[in-house]
């Protein structure tokens, strides 16, 4: 009978030890989960901040383009109302009629080509910045996913080793 009692005590102690180990493992896993969640939140915030900045930059660029177009029309002697009142072809024809010489036409053509080139360069720069941001955010997101995957794999391996009675 004393042997049964000793065996019961030993089994009970083993169970209690195993329960304590499982509690510690669970606490560690909960900590890892919380850390992964915080990391994901951080990356979401970074992504949202960058996206908001890009939206703001795009809006400012659109406003600058609209302002430059209005300035160009004023410099050309065309008011916005003139363009709205007639068709664009009519407005262009009226502007061409105002040119008195070949030199005036050449000067106007040079100004238009310079403005076109400047706007083209601004568009190209914005497209490059957008592509760079997209690539940076994609890389950061990929790195975060890889990191989480490695953490999970490490935890699974650690759990397997503990389940086999080994320690890492």
Tokens of 115: 């403005």
Per-position b or e across 31-60, b if 16+ CB within 10 A of its CB: ebeeebeeeeeebeeeeeeeeeebeeeeee
CA-based nearest residue to 160, from 35, 34, 25 = 25
Tens-of-pLDDT digits for all 168 residues of the chain? 778 888 999 999 999 999 999 999 999 999 999 999 999 999 999 999 999 999 998 898 888 888 887 777 777 665 444 445 555 777 777 777 787 888 887 888 898 899 999 999 999 999 999 999 989 989 988 999 999 999 988 888 888 887 776 555
State the Cα–Cα distance between residues 13 and 109, nearest whole angstrom: 94
State the Cα–Cα distance between residues 89 and 97, nearest whole angstrom: 12
3-class DSSP state of 3: helix
Question: pTM of the full predicted structure?
Answer: 0.35
């Amino acid at each position: 009978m004393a042997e049964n009692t000793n065996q019961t005590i030993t089994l009970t102690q083993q169970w209690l030890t195993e329960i304590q180990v499982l509690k510690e493992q669970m606490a560690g896993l909960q900590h890892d989960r919380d850390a992964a969640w915080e990391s994901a939140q951080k990356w979401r915030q970074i992504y949202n901040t960058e996206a908001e900045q890009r939206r703001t930059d795009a809006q400012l660029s659109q406003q600058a383009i609209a302002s430059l177009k209005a300035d160009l029309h004023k410099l050309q002697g065309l008011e916005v109302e003139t363009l709205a009142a007639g068709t664009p072809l009519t407005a262009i024809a009226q502007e061409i009629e105002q040119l008195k010489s070949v030199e005036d036409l050449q000067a106007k053509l040079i100004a238009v080509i310079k403005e076109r080139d400047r706007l083209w360069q601004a568009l190209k720069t914005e497209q490059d910045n957008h592509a760079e941001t997209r690539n940076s955010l994609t890389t950061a997101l990929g790195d975060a996913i890889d990191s989480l995957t490695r953490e999970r794999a490490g935890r699974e391996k650690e759990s397997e080793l503990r389940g086999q009675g080994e320690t890492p």
